[in-house]
Chain A
Amino acid sequence: MTLALDTLGRLESEAIHIFREVAGEFDRPVILFSGGKDSTLLLHLAIKAFYPAPVPFPLLHVDTGHNFDEVIEFRDRVVAQHGLRLEVAKVQDWIDDGRLEERPDGTRNPLQTVPLLDSITQHKFDAVFGGGRRDEERARAKERIFSLRTAFGQWDPKRQRPELWNLYNGRHRAGEHVRVFPLSNWTELDVWNYIEREGIELPDIYYSHQRDVFLRDGMWLAEGPWGTARDGETLLRKTVRYRTVGDGSCTGAVESDASDIHAVIAEVAASRLTERGATRADDRLSEAAMEDRKREGYF
């Protein structure tokens, strides 16, 4: 047995350490869980951190209503399998009672912020685990592992606390909370390599399959509850897979034959596009799209 940890071992150990710090220092932590690959990985690491005891936190899904059926089915199956408690905050409920208004472009990703903050307040969550990684985007590359949010859920990137060694400062005042990112130092390739090593199950849509899609803004979008092809756009049957899973109205599929984990790893390693650049319309809005959403309280 070699004692030096390899890259994945080191990342796993760091994430487990972070989960245990939060369990030791906070009263009401929650894990954001959508059923996507990063949150599935997050849950897998949480389970390992507290083994053989159950995960001492509930899960929270901010549901845009623009979901892929396979992902929701997967989400519910995982929750049942591990005997976890899942809170769902439905964007639709906020729209129905007038707290939120549907956007003209029909996209609901930006609408997740209010239900998220309302749920945090309602349940008095004081630590919120997210699956964000620094390699996703250059505003995320600036975020601490423990990231303090004001009572309004806001991130102030100019006033982040120093984060020294692996000593995390989770102190906060009443009403404030801390976002915690155990996957901060993972790259997309690390995530896939780890998923392979651990044999972690994911929703099928991460692997290649046939789907009716149409081209909009250079991305292959699927039809769904969020709408379908407009005039001038044609539905085509393509072999695709998803690299990220978010609101169906703005998450694009990539053309791919990668039908298993090995093929996905080869594809990610060779990719010339970042996962967000390839598949997320919401990040293409402006140079600072992600920073602006984060400042408002987005994940």
Chain B
Amino acid sequence: MSDLLRLATAGSVDDGKSTLVGRLLYDTKSVLADTLDAVHRASADRGLTTPDLSLLVDGLRSEREQGITIDVAYRYFATPKRSFVLADTPGHVQYTRNTVTGASTAQLAVLLVDARKGVIEQTRRHAAVLALLGVPRLVLAVNKIDLVDFDEVTFSRISKEFTAHATALGYTEDAVVQIPVSALAGDNVVEKSANTPWYSGPTLLEHLETVPVEPDPHDAPFRFPVQYVIRPRTAEHLDYRGYAGLVAAGTVKPGDEVVVLPSGRRSTVTKIDTADGELAEAAAGQSVTLLLADDIDISRGDLISVAGNEPTVTDELDATLCWLAEKPLRPGARVLVKHGTRTVQAMVTELRDRFDEQNLSSVDGPASLELNEIGRVALRLAEPVPLDDYSFSRRTGSFLVIDASDGSTLAAGLVGAPLPLLENGVESCSGGSAATPDNHALVSPGP
């Protein structure tokens, strides 16, 4: 079992995400005394009789003033069973880009709903974002169950409605677990609640401690974006020329035949170097330096791939964008695309469709893509780039869309059409053609 789980919260504003995170930290005794004292003091100053546990995570002044979360807070805690990296994200629609930030590396999301309100617009928007990014597992936490008198019928109704929605987004029933909780009082968060005798499932923590985490698939084809060329030029290492990077997918061994893209030149790996010595093999997630048999021109931005199962090298692609900027995207827009370690100029030649995440349908040929909207576009790149489908390889199928004038990040880009409902006939740029890609985006996460 994996010793680490990366999770993110999601759900509408005030559904209780930060309180739930505070409760998890508090009940697992992960809060140190001085931090807790500060929360007790601040709660008392606000006239509260019990500590407001959301203050453990809402760390910015304006968050505390407004009582909402604005940006992601990262918290780290551990139980004897597992370590957790927790991203508490904002529910407010204005800050959806921060929710996307927190979810982009998550292996599981805890999506909250307020038991009084049930599944609402923002719940559906976040569920779509999580499905799009390929967060493999969901927990639906039906929160504030204390405010509906711990009513089983309410819980079942919300669970059913949400699960149907998640299934339509591509989640299997196994991938979604529903838990009735009160973040405020702690019911079913760490301790089993006496108020919900009708619920026989795990507490939230029990589930987080035992849920399977998909490891990086070892049989994925090797992908290695070159970050930096290491050339010491010292007497000791006169001819050393190493290609530094992080293995994005698959594994590599000395002797492996590789192709450098986009040039297409072939060579053989002679050595996998690190500061701790040579390695016999390196796998996804490891930072290493590769040495090759041939003296070929390789620089930052190139991608070293296993020979025989290569990404598609193309200057035209279909992609899905989650638009994160205030100013809308219109056809013809000139942007920068950062893919792996390469940044290229690009033009959005067409807006194919916009995903209506409320009704799970798509709208063809929209005039623009507005803040927080998800849509499929066609892009033309200034130079050919090696691309995998996002649903095939998260690290080599994702990219940033950047504003060339002010450098801001405009969108999260995913090669292909990771949302099943968006696949209405148009062929996507299919990477890794030789291997069978997952037919769905719910793959293991990137970093």
Contact = CB atoms under 8 A, between A and B. Distances in A.
Contact of A162 (B237, B324, B341, B407): B324
15 contacts: A7-B83, A17-B227, A24-B341, A54-B234, A139-B60, A157-B71, A162-B98, A162-B409, A165-B104, A165-B394, A167-B399, A167-B400, A169-B400, A171-B336, A274-B32
Interface of A: 1, 3-7, 9-10, 12-14, 16-17, 20-21, 23-24, 47-54, 134-135, 137-142, 157-158, 160-167, 169, 171-173, 184-185, 187, 271-274, 277-278, 287-288, 291-292
Given A7-B3, A160-B71, A50 B101 contact: no
Contacts of B300: 24
Contact of B407 (A140, A164, A173, A273): A173
Nearest to B37: A277
A273 B237 contact: no
A11 B275 CA distance: 15
Contacts of B35: 138, 274, 277
Contact of B402 (A16, A135, A171): A171
A169 B97 contact: no
A165 B227 contact: no
Contact of A161 (B105, B232, B409): B409
A162 B280 CA distance: 37
Contact of B34 (A23, A157, A187, A273): A273
Contacts of B57: 138, 141
Nearest to B412: A164
4 closest Cβ contacts across the A-B interface?
A: A138-B59, A171-B407, A277-B34, A51-B275
Contacts of A173: 406-407
A288 B275 contact: no
A9 B237 CA distance: 26
Nearest to B236: A52
Interface stretch (B111-119, B282-290, B381-389, B424-432): B282-290
Nearest to A160: B71
A1 B230 contact: no
Nearest to B95: A158
Contacts of B341: 21, 24
B417 to A, nearest CB: 18
A277 B395 CA distance: 38
Interface of B: 2-4, 32-35, 38, 42, 56-62, 64, 70-76, 83, 85, 97-98, 100-101, 104-105, 215, 218, 227-228, 230-234, 236-237, 240, 244-246, 251, 273-276, 279-281, 283, 285-287, 289, 300, 324, 336, 338, 340-341, 394-395, 398-400, 402, 406-409, 412, 446-447
A129 B379 CA distance: 35
Contacts of A17: 227, 246, 287
Nearest to B218: A3
Contacts of B283: 3-4
B148 to A, nearest CB: 31
Given A13-B286, A138-B35, A169-B407, 10 more contacts: A14-B447, A24-B228, A52-B234, A54-B234, A134-B74, A139-B59, A162-B412, A164-B398, A169-B408, A171-B336
A271 B71 CA distance: 29
A276 B251 CA distance: 41
B230 A287 contact: no
B286 A5 contact: yes
Given A3-B251, A3-B283, A157-B71, A164 B228 contact: no
Contacts of B58: 138
Contacts of B228: 20, 23-24, 50
A160 B232 CA distance: 36
Nearest to B41: A287
A50 B230 contact: yes
Nearest to A140: B59
* Chain A CB within 10 Å, residue with most, of B70, B104, B283, B407: B407
A162 B100 contact: yes
Given A5-B286, A49-B244, A52-B230, A287 B60 contact: no
A51 B274 contact: yes
Contact of B409 (A139, A164, A184): A164
A88 to B, nearest CB: 27
A145 to B, nearest CB: 10
A158 B287 contact: no
Contacts of A24: 227-228, 300, 341
Nearest to B33: A272
Contact of B274 (A48, A271, A273, A292): A48
Contacts of B3: 6-7
B232 A54 contact: yes
Given A137-B59, A165-B394, A169-B402, A287 B34 contact: no
Nearest to B246: A17
A27 to B, nearest CB: 14
B230 A53 contact: yes
Contacts of B394: 165
B412 to A, nearest CB: 5
Contact of B32 (A3, A12, A272, A292): A272
B76 A164 contact: no
Nearest to A10: B285
B407 A165 contact: no
Given A165-B105, A287-B38, A287-B64, A7 B240 contact: no
Contacts of A13: 246, 285-287
